[in-house]
Amino acid sequence: MSSPVRRYFSGPLPRAIAHRGFAPEGGENTLEAFAAACAHGADVMETDVRASSDNVALTFHDPTLARVAGGDPRAIAETPWSRLSTVRVHDRGTIARLDDALASFPDLPFNIDVKAASAIEPTVAAIARTGAGRRVCLTSFDPAVAHEVVSRASSACGHQVMASASRTTVAAFLAASWLGAERLSTRVLARYAALQVPIRYRGLPILTPRFVAAAHRAGCEVHAWTIDDEPAMHALLDMGVDGIVSNRVDRLVKVREARANHRTGPGRE
């Protein structure tokens, strides 16, 4: 296998990463939400994947339909695709297959959070079928799932597939950076292209200037999630984050454009 991918997707910084597409009134993770995010200028699509009972990879966040389908109690993992395919998400679109999302937006990078072990093989198969191995970044809140999906996808695609650090890796990096152990920090992040983290976690500050600087010295991008208000966007961009994951990619793109115009306005180089 080739050496690990360290560079996140090509393109200018900062990155506008659409959290489950753009669906402020509902319809997250649908093809309609992805199209709307693209229309607003998103650079990268963030989505989640679960598998149906017959092993179809679906862009869906929750374990059940309840929150987005009027209280429907059915579990994704216990329901076949034939029955899930007609379910309306907040009555604004239907559940999408990962294959269809990747094929419908062939030039768009996808940041994929694999929500359960049962989704590993269907996710890998969808990526391989659509030839999307070089435009996906894989991660999971479950470190074992994160490791396994990246390993299997890399084998299936014949090249190293990009990975975002899992929460255990983020914790190890935090500890090393707090201790000032720069070599250890670099080793911890050696396999990853990005750290994607909240501002705080359980009351503990994560995103600080020191954290961002240490990640950059280790060769890793830093992406903040999930940020929807403009003052916070400005503060994080001032801190030097490389991208923001947002439900309001429309606002984020406007903030980015306003900052770019300010830097290149009259009398500026």
The 10s digit of each residue's pLDDT in 48-93 is 999 999 999 999 999 999 999 999 999 999 999 999 999 999 999 9
Q: Is the pLDDT of residue 268 over 90?
A: no
Work out the angle between the directed axes of helices 167-178 and 143-157 (0-180°, nearest 10). Answer: 110
Residue with tokens 């900062």: 14
Work out the angle between the directed axes of helices 167-178 and 209-217 (0-180°, nearest 10). Answer: 100
Residue 127 lies in a domain: yes
Backbone angles phi, psi at 127, to 5 degrees: -65, -45
The residue-averaged pLDDT of 15-24 equals 98
- pLDDT value of residue 262: 81
In angstroms, the CA 80 to CA 74 distance is 11
Catalytic residues, by residue number, are: 19, 61
CATH of the domain at 35: 3.20.20.190
Residue 86 lies in a domain: yes
In percent, the amount of the chain with pLDDT more than 90 equals 84
**Counted domains in the chain:** 1
Backbone angles phi, psi at 209, to 5 degrees: -55, -35
| The two structure tokens encoding residue 32 | 């309609």
Q: What is the pLDDT of residues 160-198, one digit of tens each?
A: 999 999 999 999 998 888 887 888 888 999 999 999 999
Contact 144, 181 (CB under 8 A): no
Find, among 119, 115, 98, 117, the residue nearest to 45 by Cα. 98
- pLDDT value of residue 178: 81
In angstroms, the CA 98 to CA 112 distance is 10
Residue 48 lies in a domain: yes
Q: What's the predicted TM-score (pTM) here?
A: 0.93
Band of residue 40 on the pLDDT scale cut at 50, 70, 90? very high
Q: Is the pLDDT of residue 6 over 80?
A: no
Residue 135 lies in a domain: yes
Residue 110 lies in a domain: yes
- pLDDT value of residue 267: 53
Q: Is the pLDDT of residue 120 over 60?
A: yes
Residue with tokens 């989640």: 48
DSSP 75: B
Find, among 253, 259, 255, 260, the residue nearest to 22 by Cα. 253
Domain enclosing residue 118, as ranges: 15-163
In angstroms, the CA 181 to CA 160 distance is 27
Residue 84 lies in a domain: yes
Band of residue 3 on the pLDDT scale cut at 50, 70, 90? very low
Q: Which amino acid is at 7?
A: R
Residue 149 lies in a domain: yes
- Considering Cα of 189, then 102, then 249, then 66, what sign does the dihedral take? negative
In DSSP terms, 94 is beta-bridged to 88
Q: What is the pLDDT of residues 211-255, one digit of tens each?
A: 999 999 999 999 999 999 999 999 999 999 999 999 999 999 999
DSSP 161: P
Residue 42 lies in a domain: yes
